Amino acid sequence: MPRSLLLLAGLLGALALLAVVGDLAMRDTTRRWFERDVDLRSRLAVGAARQSLEQQWSSDPAGVATTLRDITRDERIMGAAACLPEGKTLATTELYPREFSCRLVLERRRQEEGSLEHWTLSTELPSGPVLLSVLGVGAPPGSLGEVVLVHDLSFVQRRDATTRRFLIASYFVLALVTSLVTLLGARFAWRRWRREMLRAFSGEGRREFQPLVRDVRALLDRLAHEHGHEARGGSWSPARLRETLARYLEGERVVILANREPYIHDKTDNGVRVLHPASGLVTALEPVMRACSGVWVAHGSGSADRDTVDAHDRVRVPPGEESYLVRRIWLSEEEENGYYYGFSNEGLWPLCHIAHARPVFRAEDWAQYQAVNQRFADAVCDEVDSDDPIVLVQDYHFALAPRMIRKRLPRATILTFWHIPWPNVERIGICPWREEILTGLLGSSILGFHTAQHCRNFIESIDAFLESRIDREANAIVQGHRRTLVRPYPISIEWPVHWLDQVPPVDECRRSVRAELGLPADALLGVGVDRLDYTKGIEERFAAVDALLAGHDELRGRFVFVQLAAPSRTKIPRYHELNERVEEVARTINARWGQGDYQPIRLLHAHHEPATVFRYYRAAELCYVSSLHDGMNLVAKEFVAARDDGLGVLLLSQFTGAARDLTEALIVNPYDTQQAANALAAALQMPESEQRERMLSMRRMVAEFNVYRWAGRMIIDAAELRRRERMADRLTSWRGALALEHP
Ligand code: ADQ
């Protein structure tokens, strides 16, 4: 026994030594990998900008500064400087560390006889390790000067720590297994022990080694992933979004704030029914939430919502999958009338859409809007699990919430997305509380719109109504130490759409929809799918059908336009009137062209479940989206996603954000009735080969620019912003400490 103990001690000692050597070797290797990697990235970045740098170098130092700023958009580049050959600084970026002055860096390169073309130096700042890449500019390299890039390598330390944890865990498991094996060996005869070992390795006993194998594999997987992911492009999927979240947010919980909930529980005669609301916002965000879990804070609006929550007003969704939480907030009738119907939908909605509806602003609605924003902001702060959470604030219902959340959680990363257009300055000026709205939104770290035009309009509004610095190069608003980045993130849909799993093949959809509508098998079908809203141009759409039939008698009796119209905001008189007008227009056109059973317009005035909506998309010859003004419009993208047969024609209003993405659609001006009628006729006559060509190209676009990319891009930008803010904090505190030490 003493001999076996000696053996055991010897083995453990050897393993400990192995652990130390392994750790050192691994640290060295990973550090070299990462240094090589960041250096390569800097060469690529400067290579790409070389031409502009050389053009700007002698005559346009401001241009050089802008180019340097573009180069430092790379998340690992901390700062950049342009140095003249004699060591003078031509330009630097904001966060460029002062300790690496051009004079010092160039002197050091000369001392070390580093190449003028490219030289690197690995060194330390008090905030952590950094790598300097120095690249010559001009022909021959260095004749104009040199660009110095400073890379933050502190992430290597963080990863080292993770790697070390894995290694220690692996060695610990190895030590345990080895001790066990040693004791067994001491206990049993050599032969028997050998037999046991053979058994262990040959199969039956392999289980004992599994933890070790699993840990080592996990370590290798993670290293391989972290190393390979940097350079990877490719398509965005739920898995990639999850990876991005895990990588950039390090497991932090995502909290979404939106007025509409993704699942509504409603009482019916047959019990509780789950409804999927007709809302572009929900369509876009629900798949994101399924991919990343977290909490969705929303107004509980269903008649059975209270019956389905737990003691904290939470319910797990989606039903059957239960991957994230919905936290429901209850609103009184007065609150709902003031905040939702009043200020949001009679004030802000018509303010932001150019659709000839006069915004109504009432002081009592505004008071409710403020109070309800505060209630939701408080609920968000209760749901977070750290002092620097990621919060996604959605839409015009919550313009004040970003500032309110920021007040309670100054370190939070708040991404606000405005799902509707942002109008021009003159229009924003109509709102009596425009300054408060703008200030509220500036609580965000990043403020996203669908298009660059909406971003420009927002920045102009800030310029007109608030005292703040606008960094036009970076599209940012600076107030004190804080900045809000204003960025376009065109929203999209999931790809592939999971509802399609519940929808039959195209032929079957064509057959069943025509049977449902009582139409002959060869009927030509157009489809429109909308919330019944005056911005969607439904009357103009019907007018185009009217003009089509007036000009094409061969289509009378054959062409039918089916409109799925979900009732929306029915408490508001404007929507009530719209409802009546739309029905009236449909009646008039049907009276004009209808014969017997034939009615050219079929108005299905109801909310339909997504699987039904997709069945209609697949059954139709064409889909017409005629919005008078629309932030994006997801119906257009859904139609494209539904047509995996490559057929079908999309007619799309030029006033939608989607018209910028889906350029192969037939783009129309919905106010120009004759043009829209001609486009309908062209769609019905379009050869299949042309349909396929257009549809294929649009499908590629929607597949690539899907909602996972939308969310992923925002989260990556937010993570980068966080990193920069933290680095700036570190540098400030370090400089502060230095100033104290050496006043
Ligand atoms: P919405 O104005 O709601 O969205 P949209 O983007 O077209 O408009 O999305 C509507 C969604 O509701 C689609 O998913 C559609 O399938 C569904 N829907 C419409 N009618 C339906 C019906 N009758 N039955 C069932 N479902 C129906 C707002 C902005 C848009 C922006 C989105 C997302 O107004 O410009 O694209 O947010 O940011």
Residue 413 has pLDDT above 60, yes or no: yes
* 393, 531, 578, 637: residue to mutate for ligand 1 pocket, most atoms within 8 A of CB: 531
Residue 335 has pLDDT above 70, yes or no: yes
* 279, 416, 449, 564: residue to mutate for ligand 1 pocket, most atoms within 8 A of CB: 279
The correct CATH number of 505-705 out of 2.160.10.10, 3.90.1170.40, 3.40.50.2000, 3.30.450.20 is 3.40.50.2000
Crossing angle, helix 154-187 and helix 190-202, to 10 degrees?
140
Of 146-160, 195-209, 719-733, minimum mean pLDDT range: 195-209
Average pLDDT over residues 443-448: 97
Of 43-47, 101-105, 106-110, 341-345, minimum mean pLDDT range: 43-47
Q: How far apart are CA 209 and CA 211, in angstroms?
A: 6
Average pLDDT over residues 548-571: 97
The finding on whether 630 has its CB within 6 A of some atom of ligand 1 is yes
94-114 tens-digit pLDDT: 888 888 999 999 999 888 888
The confidence band for 223, taking pLDDT boundaries of 50, 70 and 90, is very low
Residue 650 has pLDDT above 80, yes or no: yes
Residue 448 has pLDDT above 60, yes or no: yes
The strands making up 77-83's β-sheet, listed across from edge to edge, are 89-92, 77-83, 145-152, 128-137, 118-125
The finding on whether 563 has its CB within 6 A of some atom of ligand 1 is no
Judge contact between 62 and 78, C-beta under 8 A. Answer: no
Q: Which atom of ligand 1 is nearest to the CA of 280?
A: 9
Q: How far apart are CA 87 and CA 102, in angstroms?
A: 5
Of 122-126, 629-633, 653-657, 732-736, minimum mean pLDDT range: 732-736
The finding on whether 633 has its CB within 6 A of some atom of ligand 1 is yes
Nearest to residue 559, comparing CAs of 714, 648, 681, 473?
A: 681
Residue 185 has pLDDT above 80, yes or no: no
Q: How far apart are CA 214 and CA 14, in angstroms?
A: 22
- Top pLDDT among 726 and 485 is at 485
**Cβ neighbours of 512 (radius 10 Å):** 14
Judge contact between 624 and 639, C-beta under 8 A. Answer: no
The confidence band for 553, taking pLDDT boundaries of 50, 70 and 90, is very high
Q: Which atom of ligand 1 is nearest to the CA of 536?
A: 2
Break the chain into its structural domains and give their ranges: 2-159, 505-705
Question: In terms of DSSP H, where are the helices of 324-421?
Answer: 333-335, 349-352, 363-383, 401-408
Residue 485 has pLDDT above 80, yes or no: yes
Nearest to residue 579, comparing CAs of 566, 592, 589?
A: 566
658-689 tens-digit pLDDT: 999 999 999 999 999 999 999 999 999 999 99
Q: Is the dihedral of CA 184, 188, 193, 196 positive or negative?
A: negative
The finding on whether 636 has its CB within 6 A of some atom of ligand 1 is no
**Cβ neighbours of 31 (radius 10 Å):** 18
Residue 160 has pLDDT above 70, yes or no: no
The residue type of 245 is: L
233-263 tens-digit pLDDT: 568 988 888 888 878 876 677 899 999 999 9
- Top pLDDT among 293 and 434 is at 434
193-204 tens-digit pLDDT: 455 444 444 444
Q: How far apart are CA 292 and CA 133, in angstroms?
A: 37
Of 4-13, 538-547, 678-687, minimum mean pLDDT range: 4-13
The answer for residues whose C-beta is within 8 angstroms of residue 326's C-beta and 6 or more apart is 261, 262, 263, 295, 296, 297, 298, 314, 315, 316, 317
Write out the two tokens for 120.
Answer: 């690197």
Q: Is 364 left (phi over 0), alpha (psi -120 to 50) or beta?
A: alpha
The DSSP secondary-structure symbol of 553 reads G
Of 49-53, 161-165, 646-650, minimum mean pLDDT range: 161-165
The finding on whether 632 has its CB within 6 A of some atom of ligand 1 is yes
The DSSP secondary-structure symbol of 357 reads -
567-599 tens-digit pLDDT: 999 999 999 999 999 999 999 999 999 999 999
Domain 2-159 falls under CATH 3.30.450.20: yes
The finding on whether 634 has its CB within 6 A of some atom of ligand 1 is yes
The finding on whether 379 has its CB within 6 A of some atom of ligand 1 is no
Output the pLDDT for position 12.
63
Task: Please spell the DSSP secondary structure of 591-605, one letter per residue.
Answer: HHH-BTTB-SEEEE-
Q: How far apart are CA 595 and CA 688, in angstroms?
A: 30
Ligand 1, atom 19: nearest CA belongs to which residue? Answer: 530
The strands making up 559-566's β-sheet, listed across from edge to edge, are 601-604, 559-566, 524-531, 622-625, 649-653, 666-668
Judge contact between 653 and 535, C-beta under 8 A. Answer: no
Average pLDDT over residues 371-382: 98
- Top pLDDT among 700 and 227 is at 700
Which of 26-30, 185-189, 308-312, 721-725 is most confident? 308-312
Q: How far apart are CA 487 and CA 73, in angstroms?
A: 14
The residue type of 423 is: P
Average pLDDT over residues 13-38: 67
Ligand 1 centroid vs 238 CA: distance in angstroms? 22
Average pLDDT over residues 82-100: 90
Which of 135-144, 213-222, 419-428 is most confident? 419-428
Residue 232 has pLDDT above 60, yes or no: no
- Top pLDDT among 79 and 734 is at 79
The mean predicted confidence, pLDDT, of the chain is: 87
The finding on whether 679 has its CB within 6 A of some atom of ligand 1 is no
Helix (H) or strand (E) holding 131: strand 128-137
CB-based burial, 106-142: b 16+ in 10 Å, e otherwise: bebbeeeeeebebbbbeeebebbbbbbbbbbbbeeeb
Output the pLDDT for position 685.
98
Output the pLDDT for position 623.
98
The finding on whether 282 has its CB within 6 A of some atom of ligand 1 is no
